[in-house]
Structures are given as structure tokens and as C-alpha cells.
Structure 1
Amino acid sequence: RFADIPPGRYTITVRGLGFAPLARDVTIRGATTLSVTLNRTSLWVEPVTVTATRAPLAAGLSPLPTQALSEDRLLREQSVSLAHALGSLPGINALTTGQQIGKPVIRGLTGPRVLVLEDGSRLEDYSWSDEDGPSVDARLAQRVEVIRGPASVLYGSDALGGVVNVIPEELPDANGGPRAVRSGFEISAASNNAEVEGAARVEGASGGWGWRLFGIGRFASSLHTPAGELDNTGFNALSGEAAVGTRGARGSTTLRYTRYGGEFKLLEAEGPASGEAGGPERKLSDDRVQVAGDYVVGGVRLETKAQWQRHSLIEVSDTGVSPGGQPLEGTAFDLLLNTFTLDVLAHHAAGPRLRGTFGVSGIHQTNDTRGSIPLVPGARVRSGALFAFEQAELGHVTLLVGGRVDVRRLTADSNALLKRGPEQRDYTAWSGNAGIVYRAGAAVALTANVGRAWRAPTLFELFSNGAHLGEARYEIGDARLQPEAGTNLDLGVRWQREHFRLELAAYRNAIGRFIFITPTDSFVTVSTSPRDSLRVYRYRQADARLVGGEAALEVAVAAPLTVRARADAVRGTNQAAREPLPLVPPARAALGAEVHRTGLGWADRAYAGAEVEVATRQTRLNPLDIPTGGYTLLNLSAGLVRPMLGRIGRVDIAVKNVTNASYRSFLSRYKEFALDPGRNVVLRVSLGE
């Protein structure tokens, strides 16, 4: 029964352990009663997506390939890196710098071509750098949704390859109930790098008000491979959130502060030079304040999001030792990014068959190059956009159509050290999307989607002129670069029954003016580099094409046993040079099985599973690529939930690379001079209420 809820149309989701989740549209007019029946199943599919249309939508009605990691799956992945956690989804890989840093790779695209959001707001960082992953802790999320494929029509520049949306848990409220306060604690440890994590959460509600405090601390020493220890690969990180909000008959307002930061040591290309004590180290600090509102005005649901983000990135490296034998550090670069974003969305419905969203978005961003060694000039970015997205349900057919116009201005300051005067670049771009879902019966759906997306060149691609020590190269931008524009065709089949789920997808993404970096025959001597000289790399453009597909299968074989399989492959080509694109992941597949039991004498519920992952050797190599062999990994996991110390206790244990196999991931930045990590046993104990 729903009471004290503003009149309007809502999407309600119902979940229960051992039952298939259900999504249902409900029109609220005063006190409203809804009766539902859940079907038993051991399969789990997130019933609703809020990322594919910027409004709640039953996942089966989206023509865009959308998937999600639930909080339970995120707990099992037990990773400090968001990209590592997402790597278990088909079509998604991680470009890794050790265990602590990773960038999501969606269908062969990464960096500035994959947009990361937190609760629908953009996360801005220095995506130019492979060592600057998304500044978000997956442990703070209730779930993570992913769009595989372009989504610029909803989110603007950078959503060329896909979107990752990290969605936090809703604040509690005590409307109609007594005041409540609850707490939770976690501790985990990993064997490979002696990683230790501790987390604490306390939250409460009184009337329509709710609040939460959540803190997470991590410390890890160096990684170990089957060949031995990798020096200078440890890290420490501190993240958390503080949030307060109110919910009433007219809507809700939430104020949230989030922090992500730490010091991450980097294994230097070619190893540390003579006289160095270690290698480079990244010092990252990211602070965000978001104010979100959701109100019903007449027949329209008005959603607002305003966010300020401060992103600081400093790299220091050892320059030698003092007469007393102490290591001396020098600053390689010091960058500060301040970003303010604003989104205003009007969600409307015209009867039971038509609904949609009109939106306005704006960005104001400043980049400050601090310190004595600039990589890029200081700059400002201002952009604005108008967009609309409509959904129509016509019997067995669901249509989604949208369009967007973006205007963007980048103003770069003069910089004598970089030998550049003031520069200005203005861009106007349009994006569009048209998709269809045809339900050929109760269990089968056919999907097709055509989308156009774009990406503006980054400040680094345009104006960089400096050493990138982590890559052992000197990078020079090209101020003449034009925006990338991609057109993507997606086709899919979804087949789901009570104990069976199959999803197949195929795509072709043609990207005009694809930006890439390539080496030259020139070298530059850099005083801050321990090397004699660094090779010069320059940014270039050419048309590109990516073609690939994904498959996911899940079968409940018997009452306690579920079998899962997934596979993906992508082929990227530089059309001008007729050569493969760099760092395109090789084909891979995985097969796993999991047993679930409930109502045991020693646990309320428990699970145990195993997965074999196979990665092939990449045979289509770009001249810049470093070849690696194929490999097979075995991973095990188990866990249980039972009362502990008067609380709800949960224990999860995972063993990654059980056989301690020696391998090099094609997407590892360390592959040229180090193996990937060996066996890793991770134990997590959680206590909640």
C-alpha cells in the first residue's frame, strides 16, 4: 500500500531472495494498493535500469545493451578498482596498472571514450593518463549499471564507447515509522599484496529525514607474481561519503559529499634507474558535493542534479639520493581540475503508452597546471546541451527515439614554457538514437538500435607538450584535432524463462576522426627524467571501425546449481592505415558454476562457486602493441550469511588465479616487464543490522 506519495506514474521494483525480481508501472492517486506475485528462480537479473533513458525503465524494454552489478556481486568481486569489478561482465575489460588502478574498457574503447557517472552526474578526471582511473569506490555503490555502446544523446561528449553509472544506496527514511539508527562494519584482507581494508557505516532516519556516514580505508604493499615481488606497487587509499536528505509528499532532496583519495605507487617503465629508491607515485585527491532533487510539479516529475568536483593529481618520482642516503623526490606534474555540472530533467507521461524526458545540461570546468613542470596550459571548458528522449509502447513493440545538441568552448591560456599562446576552440555537435524492442512472445525479445555519438578532443590531445614518465615517452598534442563522431548499429536477442537466460549481441561502431597517439623518430632530453632521452609521441586522427559481439548464458540446472557462461570478441581497425587499433582486447570466454543453499543449520544461506576464464592470444597487433600469449585462470569463491555477535554476519572468501599461473594480460600496462599477479586469497567479514 502506497501513501504520502505525490500523485504520478512510478516504476516499482520488488525483490526477494530466491525469487525473480519484478518491475511494475503504477499510477498513484492518493492511497494506492498494489498486489504482486513473485516467481521462484535461482537466476538474478536487475529488473530496472535508470541509466539507459535517465528514468526508470524495465531492463527488458531497453534496446541499448544494459547490464548491472548488484551490491552482492560487488561484494564478491572485492576490488578497490571499479574497472576490475566490472571485468566479469561480457564486453567489458579493464586496462590495468597493477591491482589498484584500472580503467573500464567497453567494446574495445576506454579512457575519454567511456563516461563514468556517479548517480547520473559526470565524473571528470585526467582520462589522458592510463594511471588515473575513475575516482569512485565501488564499495559505496548499491549497484553499478553499464551501457555497452554510444550514449551521447543522454550524456553528451565522451559517451562514445559506453557509460558506467555508479548508483549509491538510497538514504533510509522513517515515514510512518519510529526513529531508527543502524550501523555496519567490514574488514577484509588479501594475501598477494598484504592488503587490509576496514570500513564502517552508520545511518539513521527520523520522520522524512535520513542520513548516512560511510568510511573505507585500505593499505597494501607490493604485488607478487609467480616470478617474485614487484617493487613500488603498493598503495593506500581513503574514501567515504556523508549524506543527508529529506523525503515528503512533494518530493525529495539529497545532499551528498563523497571523497576518494590515496597514494598509488607505480612500477616504472623499464624499471627505476640507477640511484633511484623506487619509482613514480601518484597522489590523488577527489572531492565531490552533489545536491539532487526530485519533485512532482503538475503532471511532470522534475529531477535536478548539481555537482561540484575537485580532482587533484600529482606525480612525484625519485631523482636520486641525498648525501645522507635518503631518497630525493621531484614533482613530475601537478594538476588540478575543478568541475561544476548541472542537469535539469523533466520526465513526463502522455497516457499509458508514451513517456519521455526533456533535459538541459551544463558544465563549467577549469584546469590549473601547477608546479614548475607544465604538461598542458591552464584552461577553461564551458558547455551546454538540450536533449529529448521518448519511449512508446505499441503492443509487442517498444520504440525509443532521442536527439541532442551540444555546444562547447575550450579556452587555453598562454604558457611560455610550453611555447604556446592563448587558444580557443568552439564545437557544436548533435547526437541521436533510435531503437526498437520486439517481444516475440513471453520469453523472447529482438532488439535493434542505431546511435550517433561524439567526443571533443581533450586538453592533452590538443596542447600537451611534456614528459609522461610512467610511459617513458614525451607527448606532443595537435591543436588542429577535430571532434570524433561515431555511428553505432546494435542487434540483439534476449531469451529468458524461469530457469534459463540467454543474451546475444552484435555491433558495428564506425568512428570518424578517431584520435590516437603514435611514435616519431625524434627524441627529447628531459632534465627530470633519469633516462638520457625520451621518444616523442604525437597525436593523430583517422577513421576507425570496431566490430564485435557478446554472449551470456545462465541456466538453473537443478535446485541448488546454476551454470553461467559468457564470451566476447571485438575487432578494431584504423581504416586509413589498414592496420589494427592499439590495445584492442583479445577474445575471451568464461564458464562457471555456483551452488546456493538456504535454511542450513549453520547458515541462513550459503554459496560456493568456481569459474574458468580463458583469454586468447591477440593476433591482430598494432605496431605499438606488445604481444602476449593466451592464458587460462581458475577462480573460486564461497560465502555464507548467519547471525554473528548479535548482528547479521556475512563471510566471503575468494581465491583468484588458484593455480598461480604465469601470464600477462594484453591490457596490463606492466606486461612488457612484469607478469600479472599470482594467486590471491581474499577474505571479507561484514557485520550489519
Structure 2
Amino acid sequence: MKSFFNMALLLFSMASFSQYKISGYVTDTNNQKLQGVAIHVEENNIETTTDDSGYYEINALPKGQNKIIFNYIGFETKSEMVYTDKAIQVLNVQLVEKEQHLDEVIVSTLYNKIQSQNVMKVEHASVNSLKQKGATTLIDGLATLPGVAQIATGNSIGKPVIRGLSGNRVLVYSQGIRMENQQFGEEHGLGLNASGIESVEVIKGPASLLYGSDAIGGVIYFNPEKYASLHEKVTLLEQQYFTNTQGTATTFGFKASPSNFKFLVKGNYTSHADYKVPNGDRIINTRFIEKDFKAGIGFANSKLATDFRYNYNNLNLGLPEEDIENSGFRNPLFPKQEVDNHVLSLNQKLYFKNSKIEADFGYSLNNRKELEALNEIALSMKLQTASYNLKYYMPKMGKWEAIIGTQGIHQINTNFGEELLIPNAEVNDFGVYATTNFAWKTNVLQAGLRFDNRNVNTTTHGIVGEEGYFEGINKQFTSFNASLGYKTNVLESITTRINIASGFRAPNLSELTSNGVHEGSNRYEIGNATLKNEQNIQFDLNLEYKSEHFEWFANGFYNHINNYIYIAPTGAVIDGNNVYNYVQNNAQLYGSEVGIHFHPHPYDWLHFTSSFENVIAKQDGSNLPLIPANQWKNNIKAEFEYGNWFKEGFASMFLNYTFKQNNFGEFETKTNDYFLVNFALGGKVAYRKTNFNLSVNANNMLNKTYVNHLSRLKAEGINNMGRNIILSLSFAL
């Protein structure tokens, strides 16, 4: 970490205090000045807003070419390219009124285009919009997006699933660095809290070109909360109450941008009791307590931009099992997990006349313990990961853009408990890549090539022939990958995207080295040191139609995976546990997501959205396990205002139908269909000089008895949560 800080100080010392300034007015087509327009400089993440006269001013525009984005609710997003060829510039902008979604900048792809200019179709959603859908946790909100589901253990543990792939096949990024938290385990969740997260982006499909190993199924990219606008400070207090679990979530935050320096802090405390199923029973030990703290400090001028972030997350959660004697109310019972997660990240950008360098450095410490009883630590693993990601954006040549980069991680796993799931190990990744983007008229062509190398080195532990023996290994995994994408407007209102990409995943430590009972699965698992890379190729087709009052989309995909790794029974039994081996075979996944968005004129306040998604997954003629059932999601939303005291009001009715899952894996059972009704109501209340947001969500409003096919409690005959009403109140001071 010391080297990271030394590098940051060096980069600061290189900075010149000369500034490039830009200012102007933002109006509508009737030349009316617009107050509160959000203005974002993409290069160094500086933000400001127009004042009551529609005027804005930015005093630290980076050197070279800049994209400035103007966002205003009810108006079409507009981006302007500005080149800093003089110290002071004037840019007046006119926005066109239009009732459709804002075109967000996509951060998870290399070129950071707005979605309409992006070759890849990326799902984007703000955390606030996920909360309006009644999400209890961050992963609950993700599961409302098309093509995304979750493998859940009660209310506390959720693992994301993208088009049927999960675990180490889905890479999670937060604060610009990859999250490493022993995600191979079935009972290991994200370890992230929604507090302090601005939005999420989901890449569905292989993204190994961008991120290397483990992005074979896709990427979930969490964008941290933005700093306050220049010369502003904001204090936030938010309180939530959940009726089903009698849970509470309290959030406090403060951020300010007094000058080129900016900072923020945010803390959250969440506590849930056991959740209740529709018949009134509580599922013992599904309770959990979570503490989360985030902090950031940034600096930006015309030569550089720096963003340093820290996140501490502590999760104390119960593990539901049979014959647990209930006691207390909120404190988790034994067996339980205690997980500490520390994440530090440094994002650094240096601007030159026609190019720039961007670097991300990260360090994470995941300390995971499983306790069977008081002072009895059965499992204790400490995972330390240092990572880097360096990108050089080459000078733009006409319509051509190009990036070259390198990425890598250094990871150490150390055991301290009585039991070992995986041995002590060291993992080193190194990757290099190059990509180019060519745009003309409404067409964009993007291509890239990448090479990766992973080295896995483990230590020998235990006695040969006994449970808990791990033979040391030293394995090398290499892979070349490529991607090719094309986007065009076949008509003015119809956009087509076609992508072909390959991806890979090196076997994880559990698959290579396991030798013992995995308590979370009640299986004796034996690893396979001869496993090869999983290697896939996926074809994606996206069609979108957008008009002023009607939109539709259709996504289709086919994913072929060579050497797909899965676990299969051997027929043997050790100490009363069935023995399973890790083996490989080819697999195929294919499916689609289709949907519409309709807001009829002149009733522009009314919105109707509907989407259908399905995945079919096969290997060697049989179904893959943990594949989500087909879903049909519908939402009717009304937007309204009442007088001068209730603004930005909304009322939503969610009608979601999940089909029967008859395509179940060899060790699964079919799951019945079910229909859920959710409701949401909220808005901004103005009382005297105080403004606050108020919302009410009712999930499973009809108290339907059901079980999700991906619930890990399904095998125990335990249903999903019953009716849950969520009350939210937040103040921004």
C-alpha cells in the first residue's frame, strides 16, 4: 500500500495548477433558462449544476478532448465534445424535451460511451430505482434486471446469476476494482451494502477482454456514489423499516466539494430478525446484522484526477439448519458466519494533449470465519488481494480510437481455523490487451485481443489418505481471447448490436484441491488438479426501437462453453456423506430477453413496462443445475405531483409471473409456478424549509406461498418470505 501512496504523491507533484475554464447557459427550445441541469465532465468526473438563471461554470477542465454531458429530467440527454485549445471557453446548450429514459454514461466498458453509442448492450440502473422496486438487499435489486437472478440462502446471502452462470463465472467490481471474497462458496454473498453505491451496470456475456479470468459469464459493476457538486455540501439521513423481519436500516452520510478537493463519508447499520413465511412461521437463524462504512477523497484539475476510496463491511449472519434452539431476537445463533471485508482503491488519471493514462490500484482483505459454537471457530480464512489495471488511451486519429492496457492480481489465501475448505495458496494473474473503436455516422465497430496467464501455487497440508489432506500444486493457466462488436441504426429509430466474444475461467482453488466435507452442501468433495480452463464463445444480438412514446427491445444469445466444470457423485460414501468429484464436459446455454416500454400521449405521466426472459442450459444431454425459471415481469407506474408540497411522486404496481421450472438438474427437483404482486408509493415532501423523501413498498402483497427455484432452502422444504412492507424516510440537508 505504501507504494500506492508514493505513486499518488508523485502524480500530484507532476500536476500544474493552470486551469481550463468553460461556462455558459442551458435553455430549452423556447429559450427558457433551465435550473438544476446536471453537468458531468466524463474525463475527471467533475460535476456541477446550473443555477436559477441556467448558468454553469467549470474551472478544472482536463487537457485535451473532453466529453461534457448534460442531464435533465424530462429532456433528452446531450453530450458535447470540447477541446481545450484556449484557457476560457463559452458553451451554451439547448436541451430538447422528451419523455424517455436518460442515456447514461457506461463506465464498465473501456470507452465509457453513453449507451446509445455503445457497442455492447449494458443494463444500467440507479440504486434509488432498485429501492423503489422494494429491494431488501442489493442483490434483491439486481435480480429485478432482465437476465439477472440470484441464488439465495434466506434473506442474508445472495449470489448473482447472469443468464444461468454464477459463482466464479460472474465477476463483481466495486470502486473500480475486482471483489475477491472466496466467492466459490455457495453460502458466500456479495459482501456489499447498497449504502454509498450510486448505480450498477451489468454486462451479460463473456467480458474476458476487459477483465480477464472469471468474467466468462458477465460482469456486475457497482459505481460508487458521486461527490457533491462544486462548492456544495450535502448531509443525508435515511431510515428504513421492514415489517416481515422487523428489520431496520439506518444510513448517515456527508459530502462536500469546497474546491478541487472533494470528500465524502457514509455509514450504515442494518439489523434483521428471522424472516417469516406466509403461514406465520419464522425461519430460525435467517437473521443478520450488517455494518458498513465508506469514505472517499478526490482531487481534479486540468492535468490529473485522483479518487481514493475505502470501504469496510462487517456481516454477522446466521446459517439456518435443523434443530437450532431459538433464543434471542436479532443476534445470529450458531452456526453462523462473521465476515470482515476491507477494500481500498485508488483511481488515477493523467491528461496529455491528445491522450491520457488511467490507472486503478486496489487492495482487499476478506476475513471469513464460521463458528459452530462460542469460541469454536471451525473455519477461518484470510484472503488478501492486490490488483492493478493500467490503460493508455492513444491519441485519436479521425474516427479511430485505441486503448492498450495491462491488468493483474497478487492473491494470498491463509487458513487459521480447525477445518480447511481450501489450502493455503498464492495466485498471480497477468494480462495484456489492445482494443480499437471506429465510429462513423450511426455505426460503431469495436474489436480487441487479449492474453492472460494465471499461476496457482498451493502448499501441502495434512496426512496422505485422510480427510483434510491437500497435495501442493503449481499450475499455469493461459488463454487468448478476442471480441468483435458492431452497432448501427438500421432505421432512425431502430438500433442493432451484434457481438461475438470469447472468454475463459481458470479453475478455482476449491475445484482444484478440495478434500473434505463442505458443510454448506453436506457433501464430501474431492478436487481435480488436472482440470483445464473453461473456454467459451458467445453470440449476442440486440435490437432496440425507440420513439417518443413507445420502446421495445429484444436480446438473443447463444453461449458454448468447452470444459465446463461441474460436480458429480461417485457413488461412494465417506463418514455418511456422499462423495462428489469435480469433472468437465462441454455445455451450451441459450435464451432471450424481450420487453416493451409504453407511455401514451397525452398521458405522459403513465408508464407500462413488460419483459420476458428465459434461459436453457444443457451439458451432455442433461440440464445444468441452478438455472433460473422463465419470468414475465410487468410494471404499471404513474408519476404525479400534488400542490407545492409533494413533488416527484410515483405509484407503481409490479405484477411478476415465474413459470414452472421443469428443466431441472440431476440433483434438483422441479419448481412450481407462482405470481407475485408488489406495490410502491413515494415522492418528495416539502414542509416549510425542509425537504424529505418518503416511500412505502409492499412486497408479496398477497402473502403468496412460493419457493424460488434458486433458493438454497428449497431442499429443506422452506418457502420464500411472506408479505413485507418497507417504510423509507430520507432527509438531504
Specify if TM > 0.5: yes
Kindly state the Cα deviation for residue 645 of structure 1 after the two structures are TM-superposed.
7.2
Q: Which of 600, 605, 608 is matched with 1:560 structurally?
A: 605
Greater shift in the superposed pair: 413-422 or 611-620: 413-422
Greater shift in the superposed pair: 286-295 or 656-665: 286-295
Kindly state the Cα deviation for residue 80 of structure 1 after the two structures are TM-superposed.
5.3
2:622 matches 1:579: yes
- Give the equivalent residue in structure 1 for 2:643: 600
How far, CA to CA, are the matches of 2:95 and 2:580 in structure 1? 58
Q: Which of 344, 348, 352 is matched with 1:297 structurally?
A: 352
Read off the aligned partner of 1:229 and give its amino acid letter: R
For structure 2, the 5+ residue unaligned runs are 1-22, 24-57
Greater shift in the superposed pair: 73-82 or 283-292: 73-82
Q: Which of 664, 667, 681 is matched with 1:638 structurally?
A: 681
Q: Which of 356, 378, 391 is matched with 1:345 structurally?
A: 391
Q: Which of 103, 106, 118 is matched with 1:49 structurally?
A: 106
- Give the equivalent residue in structure 1 for 2:89: 32
How far, CA to CA, are the matches of 2:375 and 2:218 in structure 1? 38
Kindly state the Cα deviation for residue 524 of structure 1 after the two structures are TM-superposed.
2.3
- Give the equivalent residue in structure 2 for 1:452: 502
Greater shift in the superposed pair: 293-302 or 417-426: 417-426
How far, CA to CA, are the matches of 1:368 and 1:153 in structure 2? 30
Aligned counterparts, 1:397-436, within 5 A: 397-416=443-462, 418-436=468-486
Aligned counterparts, 1:31-180, within 5 A: 31-52=88-109, 54-77=110-133, 79=135, 81-172=137-228, 174=230, 177=231, 180=232
Read off the aligned partner of 1:302 and give its amino acid letter: I
Kindly state the Cα deviation for residue 369 of structure 1 after the two structures are TM-superposed.
1.5
2:410 matches 1:380: no
Kindly state the Cα deviation for residue 501 of structure 1 after the two structures are TM-superposed.
1.8
- Give the equivalent residue in structure 1 for 2:307: 254
Partner secondary structure for residue 323 of structure 2: coil
Distance change >3 Å, CA 78–CA 616, structure 1 → 2:
closer
Partner secondary structure for residue 276 of structure 2: strand
- Give the equivalent residue in structure 2 for 1:674: 718
Q: 1:321-347 CA deviation, whole Å, 9 max, x = no partner?
A: xxxxxxx56333111100000111112
Q: Which of 251, 267, 272 is matched with 2:323 structurally?
A: 272
Greater shift in the superposed pair: 56-65 or 280-289: 56-65
How far, CA to CA, are the matches of 2:93 and 2:567 in structure 1? 55
How far, CA to CA, are the matches of 1:241 and 1:46 in structure 2? 28
Aligned counterparts, 1:438-477, within 5 A: 438-477=488-527
Q: 1:380-431 CA deviation, whole Å, 9 max, x = no partner?
A: 0111111112110122321010111111101001111532332101111111
How far, CA to CA, are the matches of 1:648 and 1:358 in structure 2? 47
Does structure 2 conserve the Cα–Cα contact (< 8 Å) formed by 1:173 and 1:208?
no
Does structure 2 conserve the Cα–Cα contact (< 8 Å) formed by 1:74 and 1:138?
no
Kindly state the Cα deviation for residue 352 of structure 1 after the two structures are TM-superposed.
4.5
Q: Which of 276, 288, 296 is matched with 1:243 structurally?
A: 296
How far, CA to CA, are the matches of 2:655 and 2:115 in structure 1? 28
Partner secondary structure for residue 512 of structure 2: helix
| Identical counterparts, % of pairs | 25
Read off the aligned partner of 1:245 and give its amino acid letter: G
- Give the equivalent residue in structure 2 for 1:528: none
Partner secondary structure for residue 153 of structure 1: helix
Q: 1:337-371 CA deviation, whole Å, 9 max, x = no partner?
A: 00000111112342441223211111100001211
Distance change >3 Å, CA 386–CA 585, structure 1 → 2:
same
Partner secondary structure for residue 492 of structure 2: coil
How far, CA to CA, are the matches of 2:287 and 2:187 in structure 1? 14
Partner secondary structure for residue 505 of structure 1: strand
Does structure 2 conserve the Cα–Cα contact (< 8 Å) formed by 1:173 and 1:209?
no
Read off the aligned partner of 2:252 and give its amino acid letter: A
Q: Which of 487, 493, 498 is matched with 1:437 structurally?
A: 487
Read off the aligned partner of 2:289 and give its amino acid letter: N
TM-score by length of 2: 0.87
Kindly state the Cα deviation for residue 185 of structure 1 after the two structures are TM-superposed.
0.3
Read off the aligned partner of 1:301 and give its amino acid letter: K
How far, CA to CA, are the matches of 2:531 and 2:95 in structure 1? 54
Read off the aligned partner of 1:406 and give its amino acid letter: D
Partner secondary structure for residue 32 of structure 1: strand
Kindly state the Cα deviation for residue 464 of structure 1 after the two structures are TM-superposed.
1.3
How far, CA to CA, are the matches of 2:206 and 2:335 in structure 1? 35
How far, CA to CA, are the matches of 1:343 and 1:585 in structure 2? 33
- Give the equivalent residue in structure 2 for 1:321: none
Does structure 2 conserve the Cα–Cα contact (< 8 Å) formed by 1:80 and 1:137?
no
Does structure 1 conserve the Cα–Cα contact (< 8 Å) formed by 2:337 and 2:371?
yes
Does structure 1 conserve the Cα–Cα contact (< 8 Å) formed by 2:593 and 2:611?
yes
Distance change >3 Å, CA 42–CA 267, structure 1 → 2:
farther
CA RMSD of aligned residues (A): 1.9
Q: 1:246-290 CA deviation, whole Å, 9 max, x = no partner?
A: 11121211211111121111212xx23799995521111100111
Partner secondary structure for residue 510 of structure 2: helix
TM-score by length of 1: 0.93
2:258 matches 1:206: yes
Partner secondary structure for residue 85 of structure 1: helix
How far, CA to CA, are the matches of 1:118 and 1:278 in structure 2? 30
Does structure 2 conserve the Cα–Cα contact (< 8 Å) formed by 1:152 and 1:454?
yes
Distance change >3 Å, CA 298–CA 24, structure 1 → 2:
closer
Q: Which of 360, 368, 381 is matched with 1:313 structurally?
A: 368
Does structure 1 conserve the Cα–Cα contact (< 8 Å) formed by 2:644 and 2:686?
no
Kindly state the Cα deviation for residue 515 of structure 1 after the two structures are TM-superposed.
0.6
How far, CA to CA, are the matches of 1:392 and 1:225 in structure 2? 54
Q: 1:276-305 CA deviation, whole Å, 9 max, x = no partner?
A: 995521111100111111120342111111
Kindly state the Cα deviation for residue 65 of structure 1 after the two structures are TM-superposed.
2.2
Partner secondary structure for residue 157 of structure 1: coil
Aligned counterparts, 1:514-529, within 5 A: 514-525=564-575
Read off the aligned partner of 2:215 and give its amino acid letter: A
Q: Which of 594, 601, 604 is matched with 1:551 structurally?
A: 594
How far, CA to CA, are the matches of 2:526 and 2:148 in structure 1? 30
Partner secondary structure for residue 282 of structure 2: strand
Greater shift in the superposed pair: 395-404 or 13-22: 13-22
Kindly state the Cα deviation for residue 131 of structure 1 after the two structures are TM-superposed.
1.5
Partner secondary structure for residue 233 of structure 1: coil
